[in-house]
Amino acid sequence: MQLDVLTLFPEWFEWFRTQRHVRNAIEQGHEIRTFDPRATTPLTGGQVDDTPFGGGAGMVLRVDVIDQAIGEIYGKDSLEIRKDRRILALTPGGRMLDDRFVDELAAEPGGLTLLCGRYEGFDERIVQRIATDAVSVGRYVLAGGELAAMVVMDAVIRKLPGSLGHEASAVEESFSTALGGDPEYPHYTRPAEYRGWEIPQVLLSGNHAEIATWRRARSRERGVVGPTAHPPDPAGETAAGPDPFGPIGGGGGAPSGPDPFAG
């Protein structure tokens, strides 16, 4: 897959490219290219942004600058390019990135172009006329789209064959269809007991069917309860009293309530 990023800060992506799963993907033939719209701006003095019509604070990325950059990168008019590949405008008000959206992007045959906004953001015509999608990584505002672009690319790259050491890791992971869209089950490794903190005994049983059932149940439970903003208290209580987001059934004991596989 070809991942192209339009950014005023291409150097931010140098570190990203050195990360192992990203390097693996590049070795597999995937590409990450960065383009600075300042290099192709039709305006003088490397100008890329302007003050907003109607007044207000901040600067807005100009539509002519982005249109020109895309035209030069692909050697075609941007209205043609958007038929061939997904062009993502990274903006806090966009479609929220989730596992389904990531799968959709990873399956895109034409490649992705990520547009990073800075300042107050994009001239809306970039989003409406040039981009195929507006993408957000959460309901908060970052200073620019660069970190969001890395989030999108990281999530997409993990789905590409050959980028993870272990192919199964991306199949049965949080929010995947293999887990019915639920978060991943908890993992444990050695030591089996540490400071009196034991692991669920079923995991030591060697009974793969029971382990799978237990994992599916824990995963489903996390899906019902929602993301753990705060790890469950093993005693089921906190200083503030019983944790409303604690074990299903509200009981104490194991984080997941009575555990049929315990002991």
| Residue from the set 44, 140, 189, 194 that interacts with ligand 6GU by CB under 6 A | 140
Please identify, using beta-carbon distances, which residue of 90 and 102 lies nearer to ligand 6GU.
90
Q: Which residues of 72-86 are buried (b: 16+ CB within 10 A; e: fewer)?
A: ebeeeebeebbeebb
Smallest gap from residue 134 Cβ to ligand 6GU (A)? 8
| Residue from the set 6, 69, 145, 163 that interacts with ligand 6GU by CB under 6 A | 145
Sign, Cα dihedral of 35, 115, 227, 239: positive
142 binds ligand 6GU (CB under 6 A): yes
Side chain identity at residue 84, one-letter code: D
Map the footprint of ligand 6GU across residues 55-94, applying CB under 6 A: 90-92
Please identify, using beta-carbon distances, which residue of 175 and 243 lies nearer to ligand 6GU.
175
181 binds ligand 6GU (CB under 6 A): no
Smallest gap from residue 92 Cβ to ligand 6GU (A)? 4
Q: How far is CA 230 from CA 47, 140, 178, 196, 243, in A?
A: 46, 20, 25, 21, 10
Which run of H or of E encompasses 158? Answer: helix 146-159
Please identify, using beta-carbon distances, which residue of 58 and 191 lies nearer to ligand 6GU.
58
Using CB under 6 A, count the residues that bind ligand 6GU: 13
| Residue from the set 138, 161, 180, 258 that interacts with ligand 6GU by CB under 6 A | 138
Please identify, using beta-carbon distances, which residue of 35 and 172 lies nearer to ligand 6GU.
35
| Residue from the set 137, 153, 155, 157 that interacts with ligand 6GU by CB under 6 A | 137
Side chain identity at residue 212, one-letter code: A
141 binds ligand 6GU (CB under 6 A): yes
Strand 49-50 vs strand 60-61: parallel, antiparallel, or unpaired? antiparallel
6 binds ligand 6GU (CB under 6 A): no
Positions of E strands within 36-98: 49-50, 60-61, 86-96
Phi, psi of 158 (to 5 degrees): -60, -25
37 binds ligand 6GU (CB under 6 A): no
Please identify, using beta-carbon distances, which residue of 140 and 194 lies nearer to ligand 6GU.
140
Smallest gap from residue 21 Cβ to ligand 6GU (A)? 21
Residue with tokens 């547009």: 115
Positions of E strands within 196-243: 197-198, 237-238, 241-242
Phi, psi of 80 (to 5 degrees): -80, -40
Three-state SS string over 20-37 comes to HHHHHHHHCCCEEEEECH
96 binds ligand 6GU (CB under 6 A): no
144 binds ligand 6GU (CB under 6 A): yes
Binding site for ligand 6GU (CB under 6 A): 90-92, 135-138, 140-142, 144-145, 148
